[in-house]
Structure formats: C-alpha cells, structure tokens
A and B are shown apart, each in its own frame.
Chain A
Amino acid sequence: MRLIAFLFAFIIAVPAYAQGIQQTKGSFEDKFRQLDEVLPDPNVYRNASGAPGHRYWQQEADYKIVADLDEANRRLSAKGTVTYTNNSPDTLPWIWMQLDQNIYKKDSIAEMTRTFGAPGRGEAARMSLGQLRRMQDMADKPYGYDINAVTLSNGRALDYTIVGTMMRIDLATPLRPGQSVSFNIDWAFNIIEVDSLGGRSGYEHFPDDPREGGNDIFLFAQWFPRLVAYSDYEGWHNKEFLGSGEFTLEFGNYDVTMNVPNDHIISSTGVLANASSVLTGTQRQRLAQARGADAPMFIVTPDEAEANESSNPTGTKTWRYTAQNVRDFAWATSRKFAWDAQGHKQPGAKNETVLAMSFYPKEGGELWQKYSTAAVVHTMKVYSRFSFDYPYPTAQSVNGPVGGMEYPMITFNGPRTNLNEDGTRTYSLSEKVFLVGVVIHEIGHIYFPMTVNTDERQWTWMDEGINSFLDSVAGYEWDPNMPWTRSLPRDLIPYMTSQNQVPIMTQSDSVLNLGPNAYGKPSAAYHILRDTIIGRERFDFAMREYARRWKFKRPTPADFFRTMEEASGTDLDWFWRGWFYTTDHVDISLDTIHRLRMDTKNPDIDLSRRREERADKPEKVGVRLNREQGLPIWVLENPGVTDFYDENDQFTVTPKDTKSYESFLEGLDDWERRVFDRAVEEDKNYYVLNFSNKGGLVMPIILGLTFADGTSERMYIPAEIWRRNSRRVSKLLVFDKDKELASVEVDPELETADADVSNNSYPRKIIDSRVEAFKRPAPSSRTGRDLMAEVLVVEEEETESESEGSE
C-alpha cells in the first residue's frame, strides 16, 4: 500500500485518450497501449502482418499521349487515350481524374485560401516584388487546363464535371469488376513560369542567352489529366490538390509522343523509342558507349549545348518515349541541355544495366559534370541494399527551375554554379552539398514512393521520412565529413521541444513545419530504430521486407508499422504511438543514485559496519567548537562516573545478537542458505538509479557507466522499463565487489534526441550552454567555427575612426 501511495503522489494528471479504451480512474497513462484500437482492421486486402492481403487489388491506368509544345507561346496541347482497368470488386459508374494544373486557376481552393501576413498594430504591411509579380502574372494570363473534349473511342462525347482540381467523367455504362474502358481527352494549358508562380513544373526563362529572345527550360509534370486513385481503403481519393500534399496515383503503361522544336533535347520518364529519328549517329554511338562506361560520358557535350543555345529551330522533331508500370510520367525539354550518361550495373536484375543520366545547362557547369550522375549511381547502390534492385531502365537528373522533385525515372534538381565577374563559374561548398544531397534524395524517391506507391496526398511522411532517412545513410556513405543536415536525432531536438507542432500522423496539407515534421522527425525515428532499438541487421531486414512486399503496390501507415514489427520481431506500438501519434519529446533525467550494501545478519560484521559508518560521518559542529574552545568534558574530569557504557558503544555485539543470528541461519531452507551465503561471500555493490521522464516520450535508457577503476561500459535498458510507470522508474544495478561505480551518464552518445543533457549525468556535471561552449578557447569537434567578436570590434573601431576622420 505504501508503494501505491508513493506512485500516486508522483504521477502528474494527464487526460485519458478519447478512444474506445479509456482510463476512467486515476491518471495512469499507458504509453504501451497497443495500436490495434487506432489502426484499421486487417482484411483480405491488407493483412494483419502488414503484407498485401490475399485479395489485394489495385487499378491500372494506361496512357497513349501526343503532346505539342508551342515554345513561342509557352503552351502545351495534347490528345490522349486513357485505358482504365477496374481490378476492384466494385462497379464504378464514373471515373475521377486529377486536373493538377487547375491549382493555378484564379478560383482554385489553393488560390482562394492563400493567406497574407497581416501587419502588426501600427506597422506597415509588407509585400515583396515577387508577390506582386505573381499577382500580375495571375491577372494577365489564364492558367489551368482547357479540357476541349472527352470522348469514347467511337467519338461519342462523355459527360464530365470539373470540381476544382478534379474531374468526374460519367461512363456510358458502369464499369464492372475486371472490365476496362478507353476514352480520349483533348486538353491544353498555358505553361506557368516557375520563378513567378512557384510549383513543381513549368518553364524557366534565360533572357541573357545569346539567342535573340533568350531560351527556356521546360519541365513537364502534372501535365496531363491523371487518374485519381481508387483504393480498398478510401474508394476514390477525392482530396483536392492544395499544394503541399503531393500525389496519389495508379500504375500503368505509357506511350508518349512529344513534338518540340528540332533543336531541343528531351529527358523523359521511360525509354526513348525512336532514337534513330531524333539523335545523331554520334549521339547514338556515345549513348551505347556510356552503357559500359565507369564514369559519365557526354552524349551532348557542354560545347555542343552552348552552340545549341544560339540556334533557331527549323521545324519540329518528334520524340517518343515508352514506360512500363510507372505511376506517373514527366519530361523536360530545352535546347540548353548538355547530356551525360553512365551505365549502372545490377547483375541478375530485371534491368541489368541502368542508364544514369544528367541533363543540364551551362549554368550547371562543373558542379553538375562532377556530381550529378555520380550521385545518381551512388543512390542506386545504397538504396537497393535497403529495398530491391532499381526497378527501371533509366535514372535521370535534370537541372531546371525546380529545387527538387521526383517522378518515375526522372528528377528535377535545382542547384547551380555562380557566374563570376571574370566569366568563370564556381560554386560554394553548401551548393555542392545541396546538389549531391538533392540528387540522392530525388533519385531515392524513385524507390519511395514511385515504386513503393505510398499515398502522398494523405501522408507526406511515408515517402519523405524513409527517403530522408535513406538519403542521410547514403550521404554519410558518400562522405561522412560533408555538412549534411536535418535527418539525425540530435538535429531534431529544437523542433521536437518547440510548441506549435503537430503529430507526424497529420494529413499532408494540414502539417505545420513540413520539413522537420514529415522529413526530419520520421528520419530521426528510423535512425534510432536502426542504430539503437532494433539494431542494424534486423532493421535493415525489416525495411527490405517492407519495400519488397509493397513494391509496385500501395501501402498505408498500418502496413508499414505492422511490417516493421513483424519482420524485426519487435513490438514497436509504443514507438509508433509516441513518435508518430503525439508531439512529446525525449528527456530522460537521472535524478539520483543510491548505493546499497547487503547486510550479512552476522552481528560481528554488520554492527562493526554500522560503527564504521557512524565514524565516517562528520563530527558534530558544536562538539568540534567545544573542543577547539577547550571546554572541559565532565566524564573525563570525573573518572568515577564511568561505567559499562563508556567501554561498549551501541554497536557492541551481545549474546542476544549472536543468538538471533544463529536462529536466522537455522530458519533458512537449504536453498535460501546457499543463496544467502553466496551473496554474503560475494558482497557485491548494489546501486539504485532513479529516473524521471520529463519529455513524455518513453525511450530506452542508454547508460554510460564509469567505474572507480577507470573502466567503462554501455548498458541498454529497453523502453519497456516505463510500461507500468511512464513518469518515474528505478533500476537496480549490481556489480562485483571490486567494481565501484564512479559516475553514470544517460545517452552518452546523444543517440536518442534527449532534449536536456544537463540532467543526464550523476554526479551532476556543469554543462556548458551552447554559447558558453562556443566561447571556450578550444572548440570541440564542431566545424567551421568563427569567433567574430574581436574582429567585429576592430571593424567597428575602424569604422568609427573613419567617421571621425571624415568629420
């Protein structure tokens, strides 16, 4: 009863979950409550182990498109035939399509709900020239799709209804399970300028190129009406495109013909089907050589690209690309592109040689020559270890106005060189880090979500989290000394302690602080799972299993959580619950340590120890002062008053004590006597460590133990220690007699994102603040330190003296 009373005294009241299971008495919070009340029920489509169920299905959408680029007017017109196959068990009376370009219509939800940073009281409102440019652009030109016709193959018009970025096509007859329907769409749209309107595709203008009127790079994505996904867990996914939540798509086969000016080079999803019609003999020969090359080879050299920049087209050229089993299709075209390629070998894979390629203008320069295609190859080597062989025949990196965006087989990446006054081009280290990092990240997306086809509109974190985790793995394997960012547990502490955040399990368009929430925090979580909680072997196995199970299929969060648990053999419900469903952070405090020593019950030993313990205590201050003052002590000055008690203290062993000891020994059973004798003989050191959980997240307790003999060891206490009390726990540690504990440190290698290290050590250490650590004369391992104070003082003094001089 006393123990229970003690616990209640220290538990802070917390609200019970508003779920099916509720704690309606007391304030106990079960951080280990299983997730089955939160996750959707397993079924025949998605089973309880997180794998596709035995009746898993998904739809298929195949496209045949002919697109015409009107370069002068920056307009794309296209006609396409869509063949939709209903693999679901449901009969579908209509089909929904995604009209993503409609996000740029003046009355779109995205446009109408753009907010403005209101000025403070008495302050002027602020607006950038960029904002004004955007407003003027939107006012001057109509954007969004023009849907000219939707017809069946026999020419019969189909009724359609446009709802923002979605379009419902009413079928002539309901589409039954197993049936397919083909229909034609005729559409066009004005291409947006990315530097003006932002977004994931569009054109970039280069007014300073030598060609009259300059040049453009065109990036085409979300450029055709795409099927809305129809799934077993949501039916039609009719959440509109608002800008943050990306795409939820169906796999299919594509046959796309592009008519562009005949001096353009195209990079595209898929494989070039008519190389002999669009490439020169030299270019085809170079491309063939590149397949076996160990380093990137030019198909179009930078000099040739610069020459193209000055040319004028004499007509159009028709390029044709085909792609099998892709969930999207994107392409880029410009006369500015240099083009390099290198074959990446995957012995035994479906695509034994993957062509890694990069397309970039002169503005990409040496930065792109050295690092883009190399990073593409490196990505495939690392990511395939965690998943499967790269699943497509090409992997491309294209430089344009979009900072970083991914599509099947093709990615758009933004970093560039700077033009110096002397005409040379250079780049900063951070631009280099960004290029390598973004290429790894975007090529990595070809695995997640282009192949493991997660629902981006609903869950940004599902692809971005795994991809940020893997891009940091690949980054550190590229060069551990590069200043990578954003993905390790220690990087996330300021975000995880901050207010105004939402749980990871938040719909993509409602996420606050998308970067740390959907990229950084899940990545940090996976690093902790891999390196601390599960271990690399089992984590990597589970991650591979997740990727293998859901390759070319559509997993949900539950499928991921269940697969990682089942394949690793680890109950992680507590981890998913804490990291993905709450906004708690990690802060485990080591409050106190108590040292214990086992009594022998032998009065000759135990009472002697008590005497020593008493002697070890400091002398009473008053007695010491009396002695120093020379005050007489009565019993010393009057020896006649002494008796037995002056010769025997309270720890003197009496016959009664000895008899009691003998009775104790006689009362023990044989096994009790053996255990007792051994414990007395070993006389081990016992320590009780008292921890409190100040951050809320339950996590393993990792201890760095240092002993008096100078040795040290690491101890891992699983998170389950918190299962009966998530606020405070005590742990008994036992060491041999000659191993005396000197100090203990929680999370000594900073691997759990512990927010406050000042309560991690016992005995307590004085922990420098960030500023104090920065000011210390000898900086630690942190790089790039620049103590500016003295320099700035000198600069200020110089400025002041100059001012004085001028007066």
Chain B
Amino acid sequence: MIRAFALLCAVLLLPLTGPVAAHQQKVTLSSVSHNERTGLLEVVHRVPLHDAEHALEARGVLAPDIINNLDNRRAVARYVASRFSVEHKGQPIALTLLGTEIEGGRLVVYQEATSPGSGAQLSIRSQILTDVWARQENRVNMGTGTSVETLVFSAGDAARLARLP
C-alpha cells in the first residue's frame, strides 16, 4: 500500500497541450560514435520534420516552419540536445551543438565532444519528444557502419549502459 502510494505520488504529468494532428512517426534515430582520427565523440540525431513541427506547435509555437525558419530549427535543435544525455564514469559529457541540416524529411542535429575513447562505458539516455508523445520511441545506435548496438528508449526510461565501439 505504501509502495503504491509512493508510485502514485511520483507520476509526473507531461505538458501536452491542445490537439495534435495524427500521423507523426514518433521515432527518432541517433548515433553515438568515436572518431579515431579526430578523437571526438560524434552524436547525430535524425528527427522527422513533421514530428518536430507538431511538437513545436504543441508547445505553443505558432506556424512552425523548420525548413525555412532558422529560429524554429534552432529551437528544435536545442530541445533535442537538452533531451539527450551521455555520461562517462558518472560525469556528464558536455556535447557541443554543431548545427543542423535537412535530409529528406528529417532534421539532422549534430553534436560532438572530446571522446572518452573507444571501449569506454557510457551511460546514454534519449528522451527526445517523450515529453510530447507517450508513444515516442527513440533508437540510439552505438557506433556506425556495419556493427552497431541499438538502445531503444520510451517515455520515462532510465539511462542505459553501452560500450562505445
């Protein structure tokens, strides 16, 4: 009984406002990789444009236009960066937000930081758009190329440990 009460107390309400049009993909795909040549940790996020615009709209942005309005795009980029975290040995890795580009129907967001090195055990958490849609699914590929490990995050999921290839 006490445990149930504690859980109820801990339920947080996600600030979804207003009706949101359907048919969002509700899937983001990120990659985290170590660049041997530069010694940098590289993070690339792919967010469906349509989802990102509807998320902005749900947050009160009138007439969002990510392709043509750089302020809108940067707002999404900052938001994406704020919802994704990487830790090493208990300390957060400060990722520098490099910028964005449009690739087909996706907004691609780039980040980098000094890499802890190949083989480092990282703690990853992706909660991009999970505060907007409960059914959001975020996939994080550890590494690039042919051999990756995939972490899958839903709303409220805790950080997961993975080795940096």
Contact = CB atoms under 8 A, between A and B. Distances in A.
Nearest to A118: B156
Nearest to A487: B104
B37 A766 contact: yes
Contact of B96 (A119, A772, A785, A789): A789
A612 B19 CA distance: 80
B110 A774 contact: yes
Contact of B62 (A123, A418, A427, A758): A418
Interface string A387-426: 0000000000000011110000000001110111100001
Contact of B23 (A129, A438, A484, A792): A438
Interface string B130-163: 1111100101010011111110101111110000
Contacts of A414: 21-23
Contacts of B70: 786
B16 A403 contact: no
B49 A430 contact: yes
Given A126-B130, A429-B68, A770-B42, A792 B33 contact: no
B1 interface: no
A119 B156 contact: yes
A495 B146 contact: no
A255 to B, nearest CB: 31
Given A119-B156, A782-B103, A126 B145 contact: no
B150 A498 contact: yes
Given A771-B112, A784-B102, A785-B101, A756 B42 contact: no
Max count, chain A CB within 10 A of own CB: residue among B15, B21, B66, B70: B21
A494 B141 contact: yes
A752 to B, nearest CB: 13
Contacts of A491: 104
A403 B23 contact: yes
A415 B21 contact: yes
B93 interface: no
Interface string B97-120: 111111111101010100000000
B85 interface: no
Contact of B53 (A118, A431, A766, A775): A431
A783 interface: yes
B35 interface: yes
A334 to B, nearest CB: 16
- Quick one: which of A127, A204, A401 has the most chain B CB within 10 A? A127
A591 to B, nearest CB: 14
B63 A430 contact: no
A585 interface: yes
Interface in A494-523: 494-495, 497-500, 513, 515-516
Interface string B18-55: 01111111010101010101101011101011100100
Nearest to A586: B146
Given A125-B7, A499-B149, A756-B146, A430 B66 contact: yes
Contacts of A782: 101-103
Contacts of B13: 126-129, 132
B139 to A, nearest CB: 6
Contacts of A401: 19, 21-22
B145 A497 contact: yes
Contact of A117 (B17, B19, B43, B155): B155
A494 B29 contact: yes
26 contacts: A117-B154, A117-B156, A118-B156, A124-B10, A124-B11, A124-B156, A126-B14, A129-B13, A130-B20, A132-B13, A194-B22, A195-B20, A403-B21, A414-B21, A420-B62, A428-B65, A433-B49, A486-B104, A491-B104, A694-B146, A755-B146, A770-B42, A771-B40, A774-B99, A785-B102, A789-B98
Interface of A: 117-121, 123-132, 194-195, 198, 204, 401-404, 414-416, 418-421, 426-431, 433-434, 438, 483-486, 491, 494-495, 497-500, 513, 515-516, 585, 587, 694-695, 755-756, 758, 766, 769-772, 774-775, 779, 782-789, 791-792
The 10 A-B residue pairs with the shortest CB-CB distance, nearest first, are A403-B23, A120-B158, A485-B105, A784-B102, A428-B65, A403-B22, A418-B63, A128-B14, A756-B145, A499-B150
Interface of B: 7, 10-17, 19-25, 27, 29, 31, 33, 35, 37-38, 40, 42-44, 46, 48-50, 53, 57, 62-70, 73-74, 77, 96-106, 108, 110, 112, 130-134, 137, 139, 141, 144-150, 152, 154-159
Given A513-B139, A782-B101, 6 more contacts: A117-B134, A126-B13, A127-B11, A127-B14, A499-B149, A786-B99
